Amino acid sequence: MISKDLVKKCNKSELKKFLGFETHTRMSDIKLFEIIQEKCVKDESKLEEFFTQFGLVTGVTPVEFESKYNCTKTERQRWTEENKLPIVGYKRSQYGNYPLFNRYYIDRLNKEMIEQWRVAHKQKVSENRKKAVEKAKNTRLKNIELNKKKAQARIEFEKNINKIRSKWDLEENSILSSTYDLAFWTVWISRWAKEHQCNGDYDAKELFYEMKNEAMKQLVLSPYTSIAFYRPENHKKTTIDLCSMHYDEYKYTDVDIKSYVDIYSEEIESCSYCIHYTERDYYSLYFIQIENENIPDISFSFHSPYSIGESYLPSPKLLEKVDKETHRSSEGMFRFGRSLYNEEKTLFNEEYTQKNFRIALSKYMSILAGKQSRGYPLLS
């Protein structure tokens, strides 16, 4: 039912409109309340309409609801999410917005209905637990089977790798064997570098690329290493940083910044505040390949940016030039320019890879030093 206190909260003009009267009609608060009471008693839909239209002033607050039905905040929130408690609007407090529930529907609830909701929730929780236990059981069985398959795949993968490695391990030529072994572990070092680069781990990426570059400086001394140079069509990098005066002039032109610099090149180059220079071969690569006729089906190929390799590799003028298709066709099982597959991360984990890389590098350098001390030519 409607109480006098609830009616007092409502705007009097709006109440008159609700009852079908003109807003200027003179009427006392008591008379107004009696008319509303009478109409709502006779017509249930009118009572529902009243609490819906004046919901923001007659709505039930969360605190009032919890007190009336002796429920917890969690229960009230759950029933709200389940649309069991119709909301007519929201009000703001110092702690944020809170809902107002439609009093028409709230007044028609009873303790038996509330208890039924609680029982239904307990049954649902129990069913969900049973489903979760069954799902966990099935997931464990699937994981056991999947792990078996992964383990078998790792065993097969390791057999294939060891079979390949045995081809150069059996070579009596120690420099050939050590060159291939170092190249082999450098591939995995390079892939770990790429993996960390893809994952955004800068420090780890730099560490592995340093190891890769350390190996490159040694591998180029092997007689089984050939070096070529790949220069793409757009190999230059141009850096342009205009001073404020020239930049303001550029903004009022209809050309791009590179065309603007080309047009006014003399003026910009003579300007003490403008920065304009071109780095040749910035995007060029050294193409390093390791191969031997005794092991024709296995070779290793590496790329090194010109900016890194220029300090220890020959001038590009002295090297054979390769085109895009040539350096692409060299990419096989032991190309380094990719990240790791999942089974590779397990078989060639970081610690295992670094350990074997260091052993291979030390062995290679020891054999290389012995060859050099005996005056044998190394670099082909």
Q: What is the pLDDT of residues 309-330, one digit of tens each?
A: 999 999 999 999 988 666 555 5
Q: What is the pLDDT of residues 105-141, one digit of tens each?
A: 999 999 999 999 999 999 999 999 999 999 999 999 9
Check whether 303 has a pLDDT greater than 80. Answer: yes
Check whether 170 has a pLDDT greater than 70. Answer: no
Report residue 101: phi and psi, to 5°: -95, 145
Q: What is the pLDDT of residues 4-22, one digit of tens each?
A: 888 888 888 888 888 888 8
Query: In terms of Cα–Cα distance, which of 78, 302, 90, 264 is closest to 185?
Result: 302
pLDDT at 74: 94
Q: What is the pLDDT of residues 210-257, one digit of tens each?
A: 999 999 999 999 999 999 999 988 898 888 899 999 998 888 888 888
* Residues forming a β-bridge with 287: 228, 303
Amino acid at residue number 142: K
CA-to-CA distance for 11 and 185, rounded, in angstroms?
83
Q: Which residues contact 377 (CB under 8 A, 6 or more apart)?
A: 223
Of 331 and 57, which is predicted with more confidence?
A: 57
Burial of 272 from C-beta contacts in 10 A (0-12 / 13-18 / 19+): exposed
Residue 169: pLDDT band with limits 50, 70, 90? low
Identify the helix (H) or strand (E) that includes residue 111. Answer: helix 111-169
Of 46 and 173, which is predicted with more confidence?
A: 46
Residue 336: pLDDT band with limits 50, 70, 90? very low
CA-to-CA distance for 18 and 58, rounded, in angstroms?
15
User: In 329-340, which positions are buried (b, 16+ CB within 10 angstroms) versus exposed (e)?
Assistant: ebeeebbbeebb
Burial of 251 from C-beta contacts in 10 A (0-12 / 13-18 / 19+): exposed
pLDDT at 185: 92
Average pLDDT over the chain, rounded to whole? Answer: 86
Residue 331: pLDDT band with limits 50, 70, 90? very low
Identify the helix (H) or strand (E) that includes residue 106. Answer: helix 103-106
How crowded is residue 356: how many other Cβ atoms within 10 Å of its Cβ? 17
Looking at 251-328, which runs of residues are DSSP E strands?
275-279, 285-290, 300-305, 320-322
Amino acid at residue number 178: S
CA-to-CA distance for 66 and 108, rounded, in angstroms?
15
Residue 333: pLDDT band with limits 50, 70, 90? very low
Q: What is the pLDDT of residues 268-295, one digit of tens each?
A: 888 989 998 888 999 999 999 999 888 8
Q: What is the pLDDT of residues 150-160, one digit of tens each?
A: 778 667 766 77
Q: What is the pLDDT of residues 74-104, one digit of tens each?
A: 999 999 999 999 999 999 888 888 999 999 9
Residue 149: pLDDT band with limits 50, 70, 90? confident
* Residues forming a β-bridge with 90: 99
Place of tokens 């890769």: 212
- pTM of the shown model: 0.54
Are the C-beta atoms of residues 337 and 312 closer than 8 Å to each other?
A: no
Of 380 and 183, which is predicted with more confidence?
A: 183
CA-to-CA distance for 360 and 24, rounded, in angstroms?
100
How crowded is residue 372: how many other Cβ atoms within 10 Å of its Cβ? 12
pLDDT at 334: 42
